[in-house]
Amino acid sequence: MIEAFLKGITLGLLLSIAVGPVLFSIIKHSINVGHKGGFAFVAGVSASDFTLAIISNVFTALFETLSSHKQIIGICGSIFLILMGIYFLFFKKVKINDKGKILDAEMRGRDYVRLFFSGFFMNILNPAVFLFWLTTSTTFINHTIRERIVLFLTCLLFVLAADIIKVMLAGKIRNRLTPHNIQLINRLNGIILIGFGIALIWGLASHTIPDFPAQ
């Protein structure tokens, strides 16, 4: 059981330090709308990871069927990333008051729901995420049910904790940024999302999906 726990920590650490579109989006949302908005986005990402982990371990046949449609999923995910990237690159504006200070966005319940599903779909539509969970679930298929529960639950909770820390750190940075710098971060995030989307499409066209983990 300790071995399963350590493997879960290792797997969670791998996901936590991986560089991908979700990582940059966590930072960007936390800077733009504060801690609560960042937490809503992270909750969506975590929910998608939990969903994929359960499907890959409990409904193996269903997960393999979904994985066989990774090209369609990848195209949808790529378009989703590119559209979000275009929005943040060209249309997202930072609101300031008469003194040039950043105005906090007025977040309503539906805005948090939107951020939740934004994180959920950004993560779950990435075909590399499907491949990651399919690979890990088959790698540990000889472990007992209890060991797999400990392993994957440890991994998921570790990643969630790491994402929460990212939100907190981004929130602290936010107070020191100027509106101009935040605008630059939005544009950089837009470029990164477009780049990841194009890379996914290129990988699908060449039948080699880029190795972009969940984060």
Q: What is the pLDDT of residues 90-108, one digit of tens each?
A: 876 655 544 444 545 566 7
How far apart are alpha carbons 10 and 15 in whole angstroms?
9
* Structure-token match 């066209």, residue found: 205
Q: Which of 38-52, 62-76, 146-160 has the lowest mean pLDDT?
A: 62-76
3-class DSSP assignment, residue 93 = coil
Rounded alpha-carbon distances, angstroms, from residue 209 to 64, 97, 130, 142, 185: 16, 45, 11, 27, 27
The backbone torsions φ and ψ at residue 102, rounded to the nearest 5 degrees and listed phi first, read: -75, 130
The single-letter DSSP state of residue 96 is B
- The larger pLDDT score, comparing residue 211 to residue 111, is at 111
Residue closest to 147 by CA, chosen among 12, 6, 4, 8: 4
Average pLDDT, the chain: 75
Identify the pLDDT of residue 42: 92
Identify the pLDDT of residue 97: 46
> Across the strands, what pairs with 102?
96
Mean pLDDT throughout 65-77? 66
- The larger pLDDT score, comparing residue 64 to residue 26, is at 26
Mean pLDDT throughout 48-65? 76
